Chains A and B, each alone.
Chain A
Amino acid sequence: MSQAEVEETIKRIQTHKGVQGFIIVSTEGGFVRSTIDNSTTMSLSGLVKPLADKARSAIRDLDPQNDLTFLRIRTKKQEILVAPDKDYLTVVLQATEQA
């Protein structure tokens, strides 16, 4: 496990069709690694993080033994895929197929 592996993963994700960006967000809400422009990353990480936290708390409230593993937000233009973890949050943006 090394830093190179992270880069390798990012590359592999980006090879998928329609993938627009990949972001790693830390628990504090700041982003650690992003493949898209700074301002979008900033607003995205600042807004998606609380959303994921809220979703996780909702799941935990329903069943304390359960946990959130993945969050997919489908929008008109893109799909926001969120993989929350204890310490970090990974976000992938994928463009939805336009008519």
Chain B
Amino acid sequence: MSAKRTSRESLAKSATSQDSDSQKSRTPINLQSASTPPTGQRRSGSQIGSPLLKPGSGMSSAGNRDKAGSAVGKNASPAPAAKAAVKAEIAENIQYLPPGLHTIFISSTTQQSLQLRVDEDLTQESNLKLIGKDVLLDDIQTAGQASSFFEFQQQIQAYPENEIAIIYDYDYFYSQNFLICFDPKLKKFMEMPPVTLPLDEVTETEQYVPPVSKPWISLGSEKEIEEERLVLNRPLKRYKIKVPSRSSQQKPTFKDVDPDDKKKMFINIEPYEDKQFDLKKIELDIAIQAAPEFRENFSQTIWKYPKNQWTQYEPREYSEEEKMKYLADPKLINVVVNSYDLFKQALQQNIIHDPFYLDWTRLGGQLDGLGGPGDSHLKEYQSFTDIHNSKDKIVTCVQWHPTLRGIIAVSLAVRQGFDERSENLSRITTAPSLILIWSFVDPIQPKLFLEAPDDIQCFQFSPSEPHIIAGGCVNGQIVMWDIQQYEERIKNPRGDHRDKDLFIPGFEDETFFQTPHIRFCAVSSIEHSHAEPITDLQWIPDHFQITAQGLPTENLSMSCSQLMTCAFDSQVLIWETRAPRTGVKPSTKKEREVINPLGVPLTFKHLDLSWKPLLRVTLANAESGPDFAPRKFSIREQQGDRDVLNKEEKDLFEKKKDNRDSGQFVNPVDDALSKGQVPSKAKVLQNVDTFFYVGTETKFEDYHAYSLTAWYSSVVDGPVVALKRSPFFKDIVLVAGGWTFSLWREKVHSGALLHTSSMKEKVTDAEWSPTRSGVFFISKQNGSIDIWDVVDRTHAPSLTQSISSSSITYLSIKNISSKQQLLAAADSNGTLHILEVPWALRQPVNQEFQVVTSYFDRETERREFVKKRWDIREEEKREKERLAALKAGIAPAHNPSQEEIDIRMKNEYNEFIQFEYHILREMGLRDENEAPPVQQ
């Protein structure tokens, strides 16, 4: 409050003293800004300057005036005289209002409507209120002349801004209760008053005025000080006073005292250990830090850049003259002659006895470390099984691709017996019968599927054209495939279905990754085929062919074209794959497309469904008995064995080759058929043995082509399952069937060279080793393989190894390389096991061939001997019987001669005639007078 008062005082003072313009501009601030603190200077100034007010106001002090002012504001003036005086003063104040500010009286009703109620909306401290222009004009409109703002109507309308500031004059300093402002600048100033005054005070208080010394003025005090001062007028005196000490003068007297004296003249302080300070050092913390020594080292290496350099040199050689000179040197002659004895000794020593001969190294050939001769077990190399197609199927046949390495074909058949099969005959099976062609690089997915009309029992790649495959069906038909266009796919070492790089992503040909199914391209005519399942099929070797007359002739085309098959219907058929001369005309391309909707190669189009066998051999039994059901057959000639040709007509063959080269077209079939007319072109091969062996259900027979059974014998105790010729001995045949197997030699019909006793398990297949003449493999029904080595022993297999849990159905061996031989063993679960033949069973032992040859010769001799013995035994038996009869007295004691026998027989006959005559006479059929006919 006091601050406020002082501001009013200053206002009053400025009003009276007619201050400068700047002071005038301050006044409104003081008016409305209560927070503005007055400066001390001003206060003192106003206090000091208060006498100046006296002439104008007539008031003794500012305090009085304030009191009067406040009394006026409250309309409660205690003294009328004072009020009048105040009024006069207020009227004066108006003239100091800045331009744009006008005093205005606002009635209490208007205050209420405009919310300008004194002491409610507006107080002494917050005395500013902004009223909208339109509000004021409305007020003028409604109240007319009675409106407080009527007189300012013009100014209000002219006012540029929207709101007009109304200031509450708390103590009627400017004669009215409100002030209205028509100056926008002033209004802004009032809204945001600058706060600058406190800064002034700060600057003044901080001013440091150094004190200024004033000249000293004497007022008599120096005299008083002078009087108090002490001044020495003589030198000071010094005294030394000392008190005499008695003890210092007395001399100490010492005497000896007995330590054992009763009077304790001394105190003995014994040393003792104070437990209180007995501390033991138990633990000690010690830390050691090792700091590595830091060193810097430098070394500089010399870099030598590589350089190419050449040196050419020539060994020193003596010229002829020099040599002659040296040779003439007696020293040299001496050396040579002297060294002779040494050399002789050494050389002869080497010849007589080689000291470096190691018996061990000569033993058993090369020792290849592990996997050498010691390891003689078959090792599983790979196994193939197709998840979808091998299920519940048995493998009927396995064939290696004749030329491509690591390609093997497997035929699958439904695991059904005859009854099941005939039951299911009417049902249409959706899954086609397949031959799977596998590659060693991909054991998951077969390379090709060959589709067949029915289950394939046996098949074979054509030896000369490996893309042609012939198969024999269960229904008796022959099926042909041509996989020429897929050869690339087979050869491709990478798995095709992984070969994604070939395609742009998103453009993959799905069919490319699938294994293609290949349809057969020809099938034989049903009427002319076998009536029973085909059990064996073979291509006739390319060096000869069989004519319709059953004569073997030379094959001029040198390619396999004939097939030989056998089936249960006791027939062996020979088929010709080439088109007959008067065959179908070559069809045009258009026709081909029409008749070839499945994209089947047209290689054997001429054969399809009309194919007839070239030759039919019926295995009729010579005696009346059941027909033979052939299961396997074996012919002597083998593929690639051209001995027959070479021996007989090598020259002729060469000539014919020349003929063909010169462009003369020779149809080999024609040649063969018309050999009678042109004997020089295709000669009957006399050396070709046309006998073939047929293994039947129970028998083993020797047949001549197109003739009757030459010989037969029951050799095994069950159906023949394998009939294999040794690759080394063309006349040695391995016959397996039932529970036994035996080795036979051609033309030795008295018995087998080797015949095993019955085994515990049924034999399922047999296979010769292609490299060891004395080794063959026998597979058995329990899934094991017996390995026989006639060099090792002949009474038992040299090794038995279990391969599969199910029965092994087929064996096939292939010599992959000189270091690898693989045996394919298929089982009845549709799995094909590829086994690696160990070194010992692959590598022929020393002179094996000779050993085996001599073994077979020995056995043959034995057979001959046995035969001879049979004759002898027969003779002996007869003799024995005769002797026995003699002893009984039936026969004459002597050997009857032919004459005697005749006489005896004649007598017997006469006796019979007489006997007959008597009977007839008794019956009355003969005349009694008739003499009995007696032959003389």
Interface residues of A (CB under 8 A from B): 1-3, 5-6, 9-10, 12-13, 16-19, 24, 26, 28-33, 42, 46, 69-70, 72, 74, 79, 81, 83, 85-88, 90, 92, 94, 96-97, 99
Task: Kindly supply a per-residue 1/0 record for chain B positions 339-360, scoring 1 wherever the CB is within 8 Å of any chain A CB and 0 otherwise.
Answer: 1101110111011001011000
Closest CB in chain B relative to A79 CB, distance in Å: 6
B347 and A19 form a contact (CB under 8 A)? yes
Which of B's residues lie within 8 Å of A, judged by CB?
A: 315-318, 323, 326-340, 342-344, 346-348, 350-351, 354, 356-357, 361-362
Please measure, in the bound complex, the distance between the C-alpha atom of A31 and the C-alpha atom of B319, giving whole angstroms.
10
* Given A92-B347, A99-B362, also A87-B335 (CB < 8 A): yes
* Number of A-B pairs, beta carbon distance below 8 Å: 104
State whether B318 touches A31 (Cβ < 8 A).
yes
Q: What's the minimum C-beta distance from B315 to chain A, rounded to whole angstroms?
A: 5
Asked if B335 and A90 make an inter-chain contact with CB atoms under 8 angstroms apart, the answer reads yes
How distant is B75 from chain A, measured CB to nearest CB, in Å? 148
Q: Are B336 and A90 in contact (CB under 8 A)?
A: yes
A27 to chain B, nearest CB (A): 10
> Chain B nearest CB: distance from A90 CB in Å?
5
Which residues from B are CB-within-8-Å of A2? 333
A16 & B348 in contact (Cβ 8 Å cutoff)? yes
A59 to chain B, nearest CB (A): 16
Given contact pairs A9-B340, A83-B342, A87-B335, A30 touches B330 in the complex (Cβ within 8 A): no
Instruction: State in angstroms the CA–CA spacing of A2 and B334 once bound together.
Output: 9
Q: Using Cβ atoms and an 8 Å threshold, which residues of chain A touch B338?
A: 85
Kindly list the 5 A-B residue pairs having the minimum CB-CB distance in the complex, ordered from nearest: A83-B339, A16-B347, A32-B326, A85-B335, A88-B335
* A-chain residues with CB within 8 Å of residue B356 when the two chains form the complex: 74, 96
Q: Are A24 and B340 in contact (CB under 8 A)?
A: no
Query: In the complex the two chains form, what is the Cα distance from A1 to B332 in whole Å?
Result: 10
Q: What is the bound-complex CA distance between A45 and B737, given in angstroms?
A: 70
Q: Do A28 and B348 touch (CB < 8 A)?
A: no
Residue pair A88, B351 in contact (C-beta under 8 Å):
no
In the assembled complex, 11 residue pairs joining A and B whose CB atoms fall closer than 8 Å, in A order, are: A3-B328, A13-B343, A13-B344, A24-B326, A30-B315, A30-B316, A42-B315, A42-B317, A70-B346, A79-B350, A90-B335
| B332 A32 Cβ-Cβ under 8 A | yes
In whole angstroms, how far apart are the Cα atoms of A3 and B351 in the complex? 29
- The answer to whether B317 and A6 touch across the interface, beta carbons within 8 angstroms, is no
Nearest residue, chain A, Cβ from B331: A87
Pick the residue among A28, A32, A46, A85 that contacts B323 (CB under 8 A).
Answer: A32
Chain B residues positioned under 8 Å from A46 (CB to CB)? 315
Q: Which chain A residue lies CB-closest to B348?
A: A16
Picked from B331, B332, B343, B350, the residue with its CB within 8 Å of the CB of A83 is: B343
Knowing that A1-B333, A6-B337 are A-B contacts, what are 18 other residue pairs whose CB atoms are under 8 Å apart, sorted by A's residue number? A3-B327, A5-B336, A5-B337, A12-B344, A16-B344, A16-B348, A19-B347, A29-B316, A30-B317, A30-B318, A32-B327, A33-B327, A70-B346, A81-B347, A85-B338, A94-B346, A94-B347, A96-B356
Complex CA gap A33/B328 in Å reads 12
Looking at B330, B336, B337, B347, which has the most chain A CB atoms within 10 Å of its CB?
A: B336
Chain A residues with CB under 8 A of B348: 16
- Nearest residue, chain A, Cβ from B339: A83
Query: Of A1, A10, A83, A86, which contacts B330 at CB under 8 A?
Result: A1
Is A9 touching B346 in the complex (CB atoms < 8 A)? no
Q: Which residues of A contact B350 (CB under 8 A)?
A: 18, 79, 94, 96
Q: How far is the CA of A86 from the CA of B645 in the complex (A)?
A: 69
With A13-B340, A32-B332, A42-B315 in contact, is A6–B327 under 8 Å at CB? Answer: yes
Q: B326 — which chain A residues lie within 8 A by C-beta?
A: 24, 26, 32
In the complex, chain B residues whose CB is within 8 Å of the CB of A18: 347, 350-351
A69/B342 in contact, CB under 8 A? yes
Which chain A positions have C-beta within 8 A of B354?
96-97
Q: In chain B, what residue has the closest Cβ to A38?
A: B317
Q: A79–B342 Cα gap in the complex (Å)? A: 14
Q: Can you name the residue of chain B whose Cβ is closest to the Cβ of A72?
A: B346
Contact status of A24 and B343, CB under 8 A, knowing A6-B327, A33-B327, A94-B350: no
Across the two chains, which residue of chain A brings its CB closest to B332?
A88
CA distance A54 to B659 in the complex (A): 72
B334 contacts across to A, CB distance below 8 A: 1
How far does the alpha carbon of A90 sit from the alpha carbon of B335 in the complex, in Å? Answer: 8
Contacts of B316 in A (CB 8 A): 28-30
Cα distance, A74 to B329, chains bound together (Å):
31
Scoring B317, B335, B351, B354 by chain A CB atoms within 10 A of each residue's CB, the highest score goes to: B335
Q: Which residues of B contact A1 (CB under 8 A)?
A: 330, 333-334, 337
A9 touches B337 (CB 8 A): yes
Residue of B nearest to A33 (CB): B327
B318: chain A residues within 8 A (beta carbon): 26, 30-32
* Separation of A85 and B356 alpha carbons in the complex (Å): 26
Q: Which residues of B contact A97 (CB under 8 A)?
A: 354, 357
Cα A97 to Cα B276 with chains together (Å): 104
A95–B39 CA distance with the chains assembled, in angstroms = 137
Q: Which residues of B sit under 8 angstroms from A9, Cβ to Cβ?
A: 336-337, 340
**A70–B908 CA distance with the chains assembled, in angstroms:** 105
- The closest CB in chain B to the CB of A89 belongs to B335
With a CB–CB cut-off of 8 A, which chain A residues contact B351?
16-18
Which residue among A31, A32, A46, A99 has the maximum number of chain B CB atoms within 10 Å of its CB?
A32
Tell me if A3 and B333 are in contact (CB < 8 A).
yes
CA distance in complex: A96, B356 (Å): 10
Chain B residue at minimal CB-CB distance from A28 = B316
Task: Tell me the complex Cα distance, A69–B346, Å.
Answer: 12
Determine the residue in chain A with the shortest Cβ distance to B349: A72
Q: How far is the CA of A62 from the CA of B332 in the complex (A)?
A: 28
Nearest opposing residue in chain A for B345, CB measure: A70
Query: Across the two chains, which residue of chain A brings its CB closest to B325?
Result: A32
Set of chain A residues within 8 Å of B327, measured between Cβ atoms: 3, 6, 32-33
Q: How far is the CA of A9 from the CA of B336 in the complex (A)?
A: 7
Does A5 contact B333, Cβ atoms closer than 8 Å?
yes
